[in-house]
Chains A and B, each alone.
Chain A
């Protein structure tokens, strides 16, 4: 068991709506990364948060935004949902500079209709 928890597990939204996904990082980890995994593809890096600030972003538009809280948990917000945003969203926690791997949560399955 990795200790990384994500909520909700499944979500259905309508195109144009906004959604917030949540992630609690593993104890002792201070860095949270978010990934989007479309059907049949590998996870794509969205962005990472360290010390409550964004630390790198992949090729995703500004309507994808995030937050990290003092307890290192994190939120992913997506505005103006599009059909192509339907995917499994994965959160990974890690220790900055810790020479260790990242641990993934079970993901949130988002369906946009």
Chain B
């Protein structure tokens, strides 16, 4: 069975500081890995995805993530956080390559940005 763990329930960073959100996954085959962002009461917006190839992937809004197979991790990073980045962040794993729609999500990390 596949699973995703986001160890940090809540993270607070100052505006302009760097950010790293952790994600660990368990999956028996080649994973699809995703990071989504969700603002209150809204749907999910895809930040970035990893299917194969280069293990450092770039996404929207200045985010990047690094896939480390040996550590079963896919951590999300941003060098300088903006106040508008405050939201809920979800890591997810899906089935490669046929079925991104059937994904397993972590419970999310809430990001608060201090002025």
| B49/A101 in contact, CB under 8 A | yes
A94-113 toward B: CB 8 Å interface, digit per residue (1/0)?
A: 10110111111111010000
Contact-residue bracket for chain A? 20 to 34
Known: A43-B44, A101-B34, A106-B42. A31 touches B99 (CB 8 A): yes
For A40, the chain B residues whose CB sits under 8 A away are 107
Q: Is B90 an interface residue (CB 8 A)?
A: yes
| B41/A94 in contact, CB under 8 A | no
Q: How many A-B residue pairs have CB under 8 A?
A: 67
| A45/B108 in contact, CB under 8 A | no
CB contact between A102 and one of B51, B90, B103, B108 (< 8 Å): that residue: B103
For B25, the chain A residues whose CB sits under 8 A away are none
**Complex Cα spacing A40 to B98, Å:** 29
With both chains docked as a complex, state the minimum distance between the C-beta of B65 and any C-beta of chain A, in angstroms: 14
| B101/A43 in contact, CB under 8 A | no
Q: Is A16 an interface residue (CB 8 A)?
A: no
User: What residues of chain A have their CB less than 8 Å away from a CB belonging to chain B?
Assistant: 2, 4, 31-33, 35, 40-45, 48, 56, 88, 90, 92-94, 96-97, 99-107, 109
User: What residues of chain B have their CB less than 8 Å away from a CB belonging to chain A?
Assistant: 4, 32, 34, 36, 41-46, 49, 51, 90, 92, 94, 97-108
